[in-house]
Amino acid sequence: MLTRLTSEGTGTRRRGHSWLLTARREDLARFRRLAALAMREWEQPQAVTEVVLHGVTELLSNVARHVPDPHCRLDLGWDGESVRVAVHDRLSTLPTITLPDWTAEAGRGLWLLREMADELGFETTAEGKVVWVLVRGEDAPA
């Protein structure tokens, strides 16, 4: 399930897209394509796009893997300085980011994303939590 909530540009600097979706591993490529389209629309370079796509994959994978109710909201925003990827889900348990066990099968995703991005954060909300990542972008040419 995928419902587009918004696609907006407020003024010349702030832009965003928001979707209600069901996080399933088999649909991750679709959500990456939507994010890639936004990065092209916002004229972001490949380095920014790669981190944003990794963020979309990791945050939605975590919902699919750890949250009993996979319904969530994916927000992508560009404020003229940074691209923000945020996933809102219905579980209030906040993630824990620790140094990974490099021999383990899993458990490196958020740590790696935190290392790649400019900022990573999370907080509880009235409905559950939001996990977000910020990646400094580049202004589109005038």
| CA dihedral sign of residues 101, 105, 111, 116 | positive
Identify whether 142 is part of a domain. Answer: no
- Residue 93 per-residue DSSP state: P
What is the model's pLDDT at position 88? 99
What is the model's pLDDT at position 98? 85
Calpha distance 109→13 (Å, rounded):
30
Q: What is the pTM of this model?
A: 0.88
pLDDT along the chain (142 residues), means of 10: 55 80 96 97 96 98 96 97 98 90 80 96 97 86 48
What is the model's pLDDT at position 142? 46
Identify whether 111 is part of a domain. Answer: yes
Domain count, the chain: 1
Identify whether 141 is part of a domain. Answer: no
Q: In what order do the strands lie in the sheet with 119-124?
A: 2-10, 14-22, 71-78, 82-89, 129-136, 119-124
Q: In terms of DSSP H, where are the helices of the chain?
A: 28-41, 46-66, 109-116
Name 130's bridge partners. 88, 123
Domain encompassing residue 105: 2-136
Calpha distance 59→57 (Å, rounded):
6
We report the CATH number of the domain holding residue 100 as 3.30.565.10
What is the model's pLDDT at position 140? 52
Calpha distance 22→112 (Å, rounded):
24
